[in-house]
Amino acid sequence: MPDRVSVTTSQSWFSRLADSIKSVVFGLVLFVVGFPLLLWNEGRAVKTARSLTEGAGVVASVSPDAVDPANDGKLVHVSAFTATDDVLVDDTFGISENAIQLARHVEMYQWVEDESSTSETKLGGSKETTTTYDYSTEWKTSLVDSSDFHSPDGHENPNAMPYEGRTEWATNVSLGAFTLAESQIKVLDNSESLRLSSLPSSLQGSKLHDGDVYVGADFESPSVGDARVKFSVVRPGSVSVVAQQAGSSFSPYSAEGGGQVFLLQEAIVSADAMFETAQRSNAMMTWILRGVGFFAMFFGLAMSFAPIAVFGDVVPFVGSVLGAGTGIVAGFLAAFFAIGTIAVAWITYRPLLGIILVLLAAGAVFLLVRVARKRAPANGPPPLPRPVELD
C-alpha cells in the first residue's frame, strides 16, 4: 500500500446547514462553561495568593538535624539532603539500585497515521473536502492501534509492546531527621539516565547499545516492532520543603485564607525564595485559566454563529465575508463577557480593586461618549443659510 492516501468527499449545503445548527447547542454550552470557570479561577487565585502571603509571614526555618515537638502543627521550612536505604529492583533486566525512583521507559518502532484535510466551498453552498492520510514510522511510548487507520493494509503494528514501562518508588525516604510521606516522595523527579553494562542471559533477542537495551536486529536500521528500553533513576539529593510539621513528617498547612500550603523544590532554597516562586506560579496559572475561559467563550460563540456563514456559503465569497465577520463579533463579545465576569469576580474577591476598576471603566466610557457628542456637530451637515430680509 502507498504511504499516502487521499480521499475526496462532498457535503451538500443542506447537510452542512443541519450540522451547523446542531453545533449551536454545543457552542452555547461551551460559552456558558466559560463563566463559572473564570469566576472559580479568580477565587482560586485570590485564595492561593492570600494563603501564600500568610504562610510567608508565619513560616519558621528549622534545623533538619532533629525534630522539635514544639513545632508540631506549625508551618516550617526544612532544607536537607534526602537519604534512603531502599534498593529498587527490575528483575527482568537484572537491575538493582539504591535510589528513590527506578523507571523503565519503553519505546516501539511503529506505523503512525497523520491526517490532514483541505476544503473548498462550491457555488450553491456544497463543500468538497480532500483528506490526506500520510503513513510513517516513529518511536512511540504507547501502542498504536493500526486497525483504526484509514488504510491499515501494509501498515500493521504489533498487538503488544515487548515490554511495559514501569516505575518503582522507595517507601522510606528521610530528609534529615524527618520522613517524607509517599505522596511527597512521588513529587521528586530530578532524574538521571541509568546506563547498563550487561544483560541477563535469559533476554533473547536483546542487546546493549550505548547502555540502553535494543530489541531487534539492527538499531541503525529499525524495523516495525523493534523496541528500545531506557532506564532512569532519582537518586538522593538536596530538597527544600515548606509544610506543616506533622510529627516527624510533613502535611499541607491549612491557612486562614482558605488555601493549603505545601511547597517542595529539589534544591537548597530559602523560604522567601520558595514563596516568591509559588506566587509567580500562581499568577501564571491564573492567566492561563483566564485564557482558557476566554477561548471557551470565543469558540462557543463562533460555533453558535456558524449557521450564518453556512447560510451565506450559497455564494462562497459571501460566506467567507460572513464567517470573518462573525469571528470578529465572537471575539469582541467573548472579550466583553470575559472581562465583565472577571470584574464581577474581583468585586466579590477583591472589592476595593474591583470597584476602582469598574469606576475607571465607566469613566472611560463616559468620556468617549462625551467626546463623540462634541464632535458630532462638526462632522454633521452644514447649517442652512439664514434667509435674507428684503426691504
pLDDT at 59: 97
**359 pLDDT exceeds 80?**
no
User: Which residue type sits at 90?
Assistant: D
pLDDT > 90: percent of the chain: 71
Q: What is the mean pLDDT of the chain?
A: 90
**190 pLDDT exceeds 80?**
yes
DSSP string, 228-275: EEEEEEE---EEEEEEEEETTEEE-EE-TTS-EE-EEESS---HHHHH
Q: Tell me the pTM.
A: 0.81
Closest CA to 210 of 222, 228, 223, 225: 228
Cell numbers that stand for 358 in this block: 469598574
For the chain, which residues make up each domain, given as ranges? 11-48+285-375, 76-268
- Residue 90 to residue 105: CA distance in whole angstroms: 12
Cell numbers that stand for 99 in this block: 535510589
E strand residue ranges, the chain: 4-11, 60-61, 75-83, 87-90, 95-98, 101-121, 127-140, 166-169, 174-175, 178-179, 192-194, 206-209, 212-215, 227-234, 238-246, 249-251, 253-254, 260-261, 263-265
Average pLDDT over residues 70-90: 97
- Residue 12 to residue 18: CA distance in whole angstroms: 10
Average pLDDT over residues 371-391: 57
pLDDT at 178: 97
**222 pLDDT exceeds 80?**
yes
Average pLDDT over residues 367-387: 60
Pairs from 250-254 (Cβ < 8 Å, separation ≥ 24): 250/76, 250/78, 250/178, 250/180, 250/181, 250/184, 251/181, 253/55, 253/75
- Residue 276 to residue 240: CA distance in whole angstroms: 14
**391 pLDDT exceeds 50?**
no
Pairs from 210-219 (Cβ < 8 Å, separation ≥ 24): 213/93, 215/162, 215/163, 216/109
Q: Give the number of residues written for the chain.
A: 391
**Residue 323, by phi and psi: left (phi above 0), alpha (psi -120 to 50) or beta?**
alpha
CB atoms within 10 A of CB 155: 22
- Cβ 354 vs Cβ 346: under 8 Å: yes
Closest CA to 184 of 246, 137, 229, 96: 246
- Residue 211 to residue 105: CA distance in whole angstroms: 13
Confidence tier at 154 by pLDDT (50, 70, 90): very high
Sort strands 174-175 and 212-215 into parallel, antiparallel or unpaired.
Answer: unpaired
